[in-house]
Structure 1
Amino acid sequence: MFQAARRAFFALALAAFATAGVAAPGVALAQVPYLSLKPTPATETKYAAIVVDANTGEVLYAKRADSPRYPASITKVMTMYLAFEALAEGRIRSTDLITVSSRAASQPPTKLGVAAGDTVTVDDALKALATRSANDMAVAVAEHIAGSEQRFAALMTLRGQELGMTNTRFVNASGLPDSRQVSSARDIAIMSRAVMRDFPQYYGYFSMKSFDFRGQTIRNHNRLMGQFAGMDGLKTGYINASGFNLAASAVRDGRRLIAVVLGGRSTSSRDDHVEDLLLTGFDVLKRRSLGENITVAQSMFEPTEGPIDRPSTAQGDGEQDGLRVVLTEGPALRGPLTIQRSMQPVANPAERAAPATPTKKTAAAPKKPKGQYVVQAGAFKSKSQAREQLALIKKRFGAAFRDSEPAVGDPSGGFYRVRFEGMTADAAKSACQTLKAKKQACMVIAP
């Protein structure tokens, strides 16, 4: 009842804004609630991530999912949500012409580059938002629907609150730098799920790899669209204060996942991490369907400060959203993460061949493992990454694993698992606690 009333208020307010335009000073923006969010992203690390089962809403993985972050151009998903709503209700049509204002035309790149006073259809404007992430079209659409970008941003915030985006505040329609415009990985996942749930007839805009506009081909900034099987949207984003962001969705075997990664250090590391999260998420769903009790966190190395960079020469993502905002970073908040016992079978260390008997001229043989417990410290799609992680743990936490046999197991389910085998129950538990204290992924596997 309450939500229905709020939706009615929102629809009436939106209609009033659209008809009143900029000449309607009687509507006080203070009537639309804004959020006071503390701490701000200025005091946080940039990285955050979440993986959600779009079918059920279950959160499969979360890392700083509720910490405030700058959404950058992912903001445009909400801009398009309100445009889809207006289309569905008949308040605008895809063939309507939008007159580009001087304010819209003056927005910094990336943009479509339509001159002030020129017109563009609603359809082309939405295509430009989804592919090029055009800042000029974000303002043009906002002004066309609500009369001004400021009023439109207030409606964006209100709609976000109704959808459950409790940590989000919008002050512009583009995602250009503004320290007041904040969201979170969880809120972006909620928004992404809402747009495909509420407007499936328009979700195809996010799936476009390119479109033609006045003789030029506009290509999508989301490079994973052509690389990851099953991916069909949503949106990239970048400003200096946010790092490289991506909200992505993919479908495999009838199951849809949404992955949000914020604060990537580069386009390539962000894309690789989103790919890893989606691959792991689909693997977890498949293994659960076979009766295995497994989580995403168990199946992959959990980064402490952000996704691990793979060797790459790629630089930039073609989505430099404009002005640079330099903010001081500080301690990060960390959300809870539940680790469950894995059902993945492991080789029995006792079945390994015994070491050769040393002669008088050779060094003493290593101590024979004392137990049959295994500590697993991450899983990777790449064997080289698994070996790097194994070497890192041996270097930093060698004392905790001195009586173990380190190994990178053969790929199971497509992943190379970093393991320390042949440990007693107490030694394995203690070693795992040492890793967890340093925010490293870890679990103990009993024989």
Structure 2
Amino acid sequence: MSSPLPLIQRVFAALVLLVLLAGCSTTTPPDSVLAVPAPAQKYAAIVVDARTGKQLFEVSSTAQRYPASLTKMMTLYLLFEALESGRVSKQTQIPVSDHAASQPPTKLRFRRGESIDVDSAIRAIVVKSANDVAVAVGEYLGGSEDQFAAMMTSKARQLGMTSTSFRNASGLPDDGQMTTARDMAVLGMALRQRFPQQFHYFSESDFMFRGRLVRGHNDMLGRVRGVDGIKTGYIRASGFNIVTSYNADGRSLIVVVMGADSARQRNDHVEALIQRSLSPTVDGTKTRLMFAEQ
């Protein structure tokens, strides 16, 4: 007899099946019930219409979760602000300290005394999710990573991210670094609306650095027409996270999924939520969530 599926796997399997069924049906009533098992400790999701701010779907979207490398979205937000203000240019060289270079992978692996230009740093953070580069950016803009984390949290409050606290620039494990799916959706929308001239970075799946091709982690790019970013994240405590931007055919969505067991499971779920949210037969404001007993 095979062993039972892990709880989170059952959650996602049930959601994906029901979402796909809803997306294929032309008779789904607007107050349809989406039945899912009781929520797992890591899982959370939200879909927001990026043009209106209307919530189209949510499960545990205000529950505390670990952001993992979704943290780097805020690191980039502050770097984009520095570009906009003229504090840095895309050619500015950012030194990589011993502390930054000592961060665990994923990273670009710098040696003592090396630096990276801002343009390459942005690509390294978006595509490679390089922890060493994120910390170097934080130290450069904040004077220290701790001071930069305080700046990140302050900016989060300004943006309306009421349940987020940052402790580092990378998203590496820290018990005090928490967020919610809702707050990550707020940040995703803010990046798109505030920095349209920089948003193209989030659609890049690889880049050249020092003569070698660096490939990325975001397999949603090129998988679903209309997906143009934004960022993935993973640590053991968080599971597989993603914030995804969809923009096509007059529709604009921000989709956040947190706590998946694998990147594939996470991506399947995002695709199903996009299909469901684009269905003209589904009104997310009337959708009820029924949490089944285990």
Instruction: Tell whether the structures are fold-level matches, with TM greater than 0.5.
Output: yes
Residue 139 (structure 1) aligned with residue 87 (structure 2): no
- Structure 2 distance, partners of 1:437, 1:74, is 27
- For the residue of structure 2 that corresponds to 1:225, the secondary structure is coil
> Which residue does the alignment assign to 1:123?
119
TM-score where L is the length of structure 2: 0.84
Amino acid at match of 2:200: G
> Which residue does the alignment assign to 1:156?
152
The question of whether the paired residues in 2 share the 8 Å contact of 1:54 and 1:256 is answered with yes
Residue 240 of structure 2: which of 239, 244, 250 is its match?
244
Residue 196 of structure 2: which of 186, 196, 200 is its match?
200
Residue 178 of structure 1: which of 174, 177, 183 is its match?
174
- For the residue of structure 2 that corresponds to 1:94, the secondary structure is coil
Residues 143-166 of structure 1: CA distance to partner in whole angstroms, max 9, x if unpaired?
111111111000000000010000
- For the residue of structure 1 that corresponds to 2:149, the secondary structure is helix
TM-score where L is the length of structure 1: 0.56
Give how far 1:116 is off. 2.3
- Structure 2 distance, partners of 1:439, 1:338, is 22
- For the residue of structure 1 that corresponds to 2:276, the secondary structure is helix
> Which residue does the alignment assign to 1:187?
183
Q: Which has the higher contact order (CA 8 A, sep 6+)?
A: 2
Give how far 1:167 is off. 0.5
Residue 339 (structure 1) aligned with residue 287 (structure 2): yes
- For the residue of structure 1 that corresponds to 2:221, the secondary structure is helix
Q: CA RMSD in A?
A: 1.6
- Structure 2 distance, partners of 1:139, 1:437, is 40
Larger fraction in strand: 2
**Structure (1 or 2) with the larger CA radius of gyration:** 1
Residues 148-206 of structure 1: CA distance to partner in whole angstroms, max 9, x if unpaired?
11110000000000100000000000000001000000000000000110111111111
The question of whether the paired residues in 2 share the 8 Å contact of 1:132 and 1:219 is answered with yes
> Which residue does the alignment assign to 1:88?
84
The question of whether the paired residues in 2 share the 8 Å contact of 1:252 and 1:282 is answered with no
Give how far 1:436 is off. 3.7
Question: Structure 2 regions of 5+ residues with no counterpart?
Answer: 1-39
Count of aligned positions: 255
> Which residue does the alignment assign to 1:235?
231
Amino acid at match of 1:339: T
Give how far 1:339 is off. 2.9
Compared CA separation, residues 439 and 126, structure 1 to 2 (3 A): farther
Question: Structure 1 regions of 5+ residues with no counterpart?
Answer: 1-43, 297-336, 341-434, 441-447
Give how far 1:278 is off. 0.9
Compared CA separation, residues 282 and 215, structure 1 to 2 (3 A): same
Compared CA separation, residues 437 and 257, structure 1 to 2 (3 A): closer
Residue 59 (structure 1) aligned with residue 55 (structure 2): yes
> Which residue does the alignment assign to 2:31?
none
Sequence identity percentage:
50
What aligned pairs does 1:6-405 form with structure 2 within 5 A after superposition?
A: 45-283=41-279, 287=280, 294-296=282-284, 338-339=286-287
Amino acid at match of 2:283: T
- Structure 2 distance, partners of 1:437, 1:258, is 24
